[in-house]
Structure 1
Amino acid sequence: MVAVRWYLRFNLSYRDVEELLVERGVEVDHVTVFRWVQQFTPLLADAARFCRHSPGDRWFVDETYVKVSGVWHYVYRAVDQYGQVIDVLVSTRRDAAAARRLFRRALSTLKVTPAEVVTDAAAVYPAVLDELVPQAWHHVERYANNPIEADHSQLKHRLRPMRGLQTDKTAQVIIAGHAFMQNLRRGHYEITIDTPPTQRAAAAFAELAKAI
């Protein structure tokens, strides 16, 4: 749990985590750290979902870019007006099918329907929103999507020290894990909500470890 938490929280590579563990008397290979992150990150996020706060009714949706095995991929991200990351999706294409998957998963998992969705002027969104959330106001004014565009920098900052994402599956786990950690530290889970922000992740991981 400590290794997974360090990797998701700090700008560390797997080899960095390996070295830090060795200093503490725990000898593991960096490949083992990678396997721990891939195995336990989804389990931790799933264990925490019952104490996650419901997102707000104003959703900001946008795409950013990451390289997976040397090829540019799109990362669809949605955040609410309080800074909670609603969901993320790694896709090889920037199209209506990818946007539809993001919204369908968020709507079915969170059981919350937005009253307003803010996007850029990409042509894929109007038809998807008319199909899935027809009652929501689709807001596309210039600069309205600045909050999520600024939030992309959190993800970019985390991915910078890595040597690249190798597969779509591992990319999805890591990027979703980053969103989980970001939400945890911002207080969007009931667990450890009264814990000081600097101790929140460690306390939450200790509690969630008992559940998995």
Structure 2
Amino acid sequence: MVPTLQRDRSWRILVIHVAAVDFGTTHRAWSTCEENTAYLERFNRKKRQVTRKWNVDETYVRVKGQWMYFYRAIDSNGDTVEFWFSKERDLRAAKRFMRKALARHGRPTRITVDGSQTNRTAIIQCDAEDRLKRGGNPIVIQSSKYMNNNIEQDHRRIKRRIRSMLGFKCTVSASITLAGIELIHMMRKQQGIFAAATPLSLKQQFTALTA
């Protein structure tokens, strides 16, 4: 565990980078922050509630010459719901992602996928598990490539940031950096409750997050 003083110093360094330089440098600064999970959790605790209609999909990320997978979900407003980086693209990975999303954000009424049978099966199985605990109606699953265009566009915004970098050398750096990219992406969308009344700059949002 990194001492509190050292964590806060690393966090302040990241704030300075966000305020002063481009995304590429910001991502490199983020990758040096050992307590990135704690920082992301701070934001998640202060993130506005997502809607009950989600779009779920995964995109590809190259790590050390191999394709790996980045599961993502956005809501009907385009806000980020959840994300999950995985070495595998299979039912186990899809279920881990879906359980994480349901645990953090509750049950949606509808999820749209692009036709992936694996994602559909993961949703059905995780939905059944969740209803045993909470009750409620089954989640409606829609399969539509056209209706999933919004998340495809959101993927592209993330992938542009990845392409501007030199690439990932290992899964650890990929996971850490992707979390940083997603955090800043959510801030760009003004998803923090501290930005609900008035849009804030990245610097202002980082300041509010550390207050």
Q: TM over 0.5: same fold?
A: yes
Q: What is the CA distance between 1:151 and its match in structure 2? A: 0.7
Query: When the two structures are superposed, what TM-score results if normalisation uses the length of structure 2?
Result: 0.80
Tell me which residue corresponds to 2:43: 48
Identity among equivalent pairs (%): 25
Tell me which residue corresponds to 2:112: 118
Contact 2:42–2:209 (Cα < 8 Å) also in 1: yes
Q: How does 1:1-150 map to 2 (within 5 A)?
A: 1=11, 3-5=13-15, 6=17, 10-13=22-25, 33=29, 36=32, 38-110=33-105, 112-134=106-128, 135-150=138-153
The gaps in structure 2 that reach 5 residues or longer are 1-10, 129-137
Q: Greater shift after overlay, 132-141 or 70-79?
A: 132-141
Alpha-carbon RMSD? 2.4
Aligned length: 190
2:82 alignment partner, SS class: strand
Q: Greater shift after overlay, 122-131 or 143-152?
A: 122-131
Q: What is the CA distance between 1:39 and its match in structure 2? A: 1.9
Separation (CA, whole Å) in 2 of partners of 1:184 and 1:13: 17
The gaps in structure 1 that reach 5 residues or longer are 18-29
Separation (CA, whole Å) in 2 of partners of 1:11 and 1:188: 19
Contact 2:54–2:108 (Cα < 8 Å) also in 1: yes
1:182 to 185, 189, 197: 185
Separation (CA, whole Å) in 2 of partners of 1:124 and 1:203: 41
Query: When the two structures are superposed, what TM-score results if normalisation uses the length of structure 1?
Result: 0.80
Separation (CA, whole Å) in 2 of partners of 1:122 and 1:35: 32
Q: Which runs of 4+ in 1 moved over 6 A?
A: none
Deviations, residues 179-204 of structure 1 (Å, cap 9, x unaligned): 2211122121112333434x2x2112
Contact 1:42–1:177 (Cα < 8 Å) also in 2: no
Contact 2:30–2:177 (Cα < 8 Å) also in 1: no
1:79 alignment partner, SS class: strand
